[in-house]
Amino acid sequence: MIQRRKLLKSMLYGAAASYGLGPFSAFAATWPAQPVNFIVPFAPGGPVDTAARIVTEGMSRQWGQTAVIDNRAGAGGILGARLSAKARPDGYHYFFAAIHHAILPSLNSALDYDIEKDFVPVGGVARFPIILIAHPSLKVSSVRELIALAKAQPGKIAYSSSGTGGGTHLAGALFASMADISLQHVPYKGSAPAVQDLVGGQVQLMFADATSALPFMKSGRVVALGIGNPQRSALAPDVPPIADEGLPGYEAYSWSGLFAPAGTPADIVNTLNENINAQLKDKAVIEKMHRSGSEPIPMTPDAFGGFLRAEIAKWHKTIADAKITIQG
């Protein structure tokens, strides 16, 4: 099967050359002819890494070429982005970005790469839902009840997050801004201690990633009030979207998507986008993603580019309105 595929690519290459098509079109006909490299700017085993491995596993089989995952963790995703921006735009180097890379431009003026100018979007990969959960002692069972209580007790309700400037923090800041309420933010170093202190009653709320929230929801130790997805999620089908429960237009979740260095041939980008989207629509891949706490978000390159710009603008406004800063 692999030999037939290679023969077909050679025939396509010859046809492209005989009709005088450009080198990029000929390149696309033979791509990939060697292992394809994907930088994941986070440690192995995390949500972005897991989603990347699920998607690239199927593409590797399809291509008959190895998809190489290169974990380059450091500086909250900056190290991997920096290395990717400098990679050769030869169709063999890609970058699994995350929500961090839409937030960072508003928090770090010293970035030595530009997520919009130094990359071209390939496509969306995964959404990681954020669920608003409350300690039972708060005695609220809906978003509307929470907003009413927060208006009656301004600044007295505390919510934990996995860290200042992260997705779970900004989900809370966006919620407070849109609801016109004051909540007290308590940052932690990671999701695990943030959830543990919520379960222990040290804080009353958390905008938690689904994988952290679901075990405590199932055990009844926290109350799920709403989810940041625009629609209900297969991961928590009984939890309504926050936007439908008193806060129209609210949307907040973590995500990952694929980028290529600027200058990568457009036909290669489009081919890879088709490959990714085929994986993201495959039932077995969807089931694997759901088990790992993510959902597929297939998009065209143009749609993903628009999504990125909207995310940058949304989080820039949220950060400015809440006067959020980070040290270092």
The verdict on 161 and 94 lying in the same domain is no
Give percent above pLDDT 70 in the chain: 91
| pLDDT value at residue 15 | 42
Question: How many domains are contained in the chain?
Answer: 2
| Residue 313 DSSP one-character state | H
For residue 255, what pLDDT band results from cuts at 50, 70 and 90?
Answer: very high
Q: Token match 């050769």: residue? A: 88
The verdict on 122 and 60 lying in the same domain is yes
Decide which of 204, 228, 252 is a domain's last residue.
Answer: 252
The verdict on 136 and 202 lying in the same domain is yes
The verdict on 11 and 119 lying in the same domain is yes
Tell me if 196 is assigned to some domain: yes
Determine how many CB atoms are found less than 10 A away from the CB of residue 18: 8
Looking up residue 121, the CATH number of its domain turns out to be 3.40.190.150
Mean pLDDT across the chain, nearest whole number? 92
The verdict on 300 and 163 lying in the same domain is no
Tell me if 325 is assigned to some domain: no
The pTM of the full predicted model, rounded to 2 decimals, is: 0.90
Task: Judge if the upstream peptide bond of residue 32 is cis by omega within 30 degrees of 0.
Answer: yes
Tell me if 327 is assigned to some domain: no
Q: Which of 123, 126, 127, 128 is nearest to 299 (CA)?
A: 123
The verdict on 20 and 101 lying in the same domain is yes
Cβ neighbors of 16 (< 8 A, separation 6 or more) are 25, 26, 29
Decide which of 221, 252, 283 is a domain's last residue.
Answer: 252
Q: Which of 213, 208, 147, 227 is nearest to 183 (CA)?
A: 147
The verdict on 209 and 149 lying in the same domain is yes
Tell me if 79 is assigned to some domain: yes
Tell me if 113 is assigned to some domain: yes
The verdict on 122 and 134 lying in the same domain is no
Looking up residue 172, the CATH number of its domain turns out to be 3.40.190.10
The verdict on 206 and 181 lying in the same domain is yes
Start-to-end CA span in the chain (Å)? 53
Look at residue 2 and tell me whether its pLDDT is greater than 60: no
Q: Tens digit of pLDDT for each residue in 56-74?
A: 999 999 999 999 999 999 9
Domain that holds residue 170: 130-252
Q: Which of 263, 301, 258, 257 is nearest to 90 (CA)?
A: 263
Q: What is the mean pLDDT of residues 92-103?
A: 98
Query: 158, 134 in Cβ contact below 8 A?
Result: no
The verdict on 243 and 282 lying in the same domain is no
Q: Which of 215, 212, 210 is nearest to 226 (CA)?
A: 210
The verdict on 18 and 120 lying in the same domain is yes
181 versus 2: which is more confidently predicted? 181
Query: 249, 236 in Cβ contact below 8 A?
Result: no
Decide which of 236, 252, 268 is a domain's last residue.
Answer: 252
DSSP per-residue string spanning 139-197? ---SHHHHHHHHHHSTTT-EEEESSTTSHHHHHHHHHHHHHT---EEEE-SSHHHHHHH
| pLDDT value at residue 4 | 46
For residue 326, what pLDDT band results from cuts at 50, 70 and 90?
Answer: confident
Look at residue 232 and tell me whether its pLDDT is greater than 60: yes
Joined together, the tokens standing for residue 100 give 């961090």
Q: Tens digit of pLDDT for each residue in 4-33?
A: 444 444 444 444 433 334 444 556 678 999
Q: What 3 state SS string does 97-131 have?
A: EECHHHHHHHHCCCCCCCCCCCEEEEEEEEEEEEE
The verdict on 173 and 221 lying in the same domain is yes
Determine the residue type at 156.
Answer: K
